[in-house]
């Protein structure tokens, strides 16, 4: 959490902060919340997370690059039967595999791979995020439309998106609820 990635010094935060080292593969339990993690395929390494609470699960898969010949077993493990999967879909397959400006080896994935993982892991809802900043709103609208054609219960994340894990069925779009848990993407 240092400049330039995090330009605000921790000393000005309005809270008492405690940091704990977390090993890859270590499970952490906080009351009735269970947090699991696994290594992701990313240059310099990255870690994905699964948070479980009272029979609900959310998987957060950031900074990961899919394998060309198989689904990532760590990603599948984190996402298996999750109510929601939040997945790094920076590119389209066309951009990722472009002969002119390939993104292979950059550590990010595609919405098409997100759909494959969501189906294979029996995910209830797919949220794709980690958008390429060169993609404008019209481009992202097309990504949303194309993703929904292949995985109906999907969404393209936007700033401020809140996901209700306690909706009557997490396998349907989130509904307004007076009692909800919010996961910000």
Domain ranges in the chain are 30-171
Beta strands, E only, 77-144: 84-88, 125-129
CA distance 144 to 172: 16
* The pLDDT value given to residue 9: 76
| Sequential pLDDT tens for the chain (185 residues) | 566 656 777 777 778 888 888 899 999 999 999 999 999 999 989 999 999 999 999 999 999 999 999 999 999 999 999 999 999 999 999 999 999 999 999 999 999 999 999 999 999 999 999 998 999 999 999 999 999 999 999 999 988 999 888 765 545 444 343 344 455 44
What pLDDT, on a 0 to 100 scale, did the predictor assign at position 180?
45
Determine the Cα angle at 139 with ends 138 and 141, to 5°.
Answer: 65
| Domain 30-171, CATH among 3.40.50.300, 3.60.15.10, 3.20.20.70, 3.40.30.10 | 3.60.15.10
Query: Residue 4, preceding bond cis, omega within 30 degrees?
Result: yes
pLDDT for 18: 82
pLDDT score for 88: 95
Neighbours of 123 (CB within 10 A): 27
* pLDDT for position 21: 87
Q: What is the pLDDT of residue 66?
A: 95
pLDDT recorded at residue 147: 96
């Amino acid at each position: 959490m240092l400049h330039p990635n995090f330009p605000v010094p921790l000393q000005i935060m309005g809270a008492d902060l405690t940091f704990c080292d977390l090993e890859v593969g270590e499970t952490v339990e906080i009351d009735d919340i269970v947090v699991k993690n696994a290594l992701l395929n990313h240059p310099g390494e990255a870690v994905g997370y699964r948070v479980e609470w009272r029979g609900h699960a959310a998987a957060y898969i950031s900074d990961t690059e899919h394998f060309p010949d198989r689904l990532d077993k760590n990603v599948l493990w984190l996402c298996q039967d999750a109510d929601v999967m939040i997945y790094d879909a920076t590119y389209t397959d066309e951009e990722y595999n472009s002969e002119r400006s390939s993104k292979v080896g950059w550590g990010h994935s595609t919405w098409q791979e997100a759909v494959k993982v969501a189906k294979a892991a029996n995910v209830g809802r797919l949220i794709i995020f980690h958008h390429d900043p060169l993609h404008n709103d019209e481009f992202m609208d097309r990504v949303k439309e194309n993703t929904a054609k292949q995985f109906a219960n999907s969404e393209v994340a936007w700033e401020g998106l809140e996901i209700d894990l306690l909706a009557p069925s997490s396998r349907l779009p989130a509904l307004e609820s007076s009692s909800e848990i919010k996961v910000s993407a």
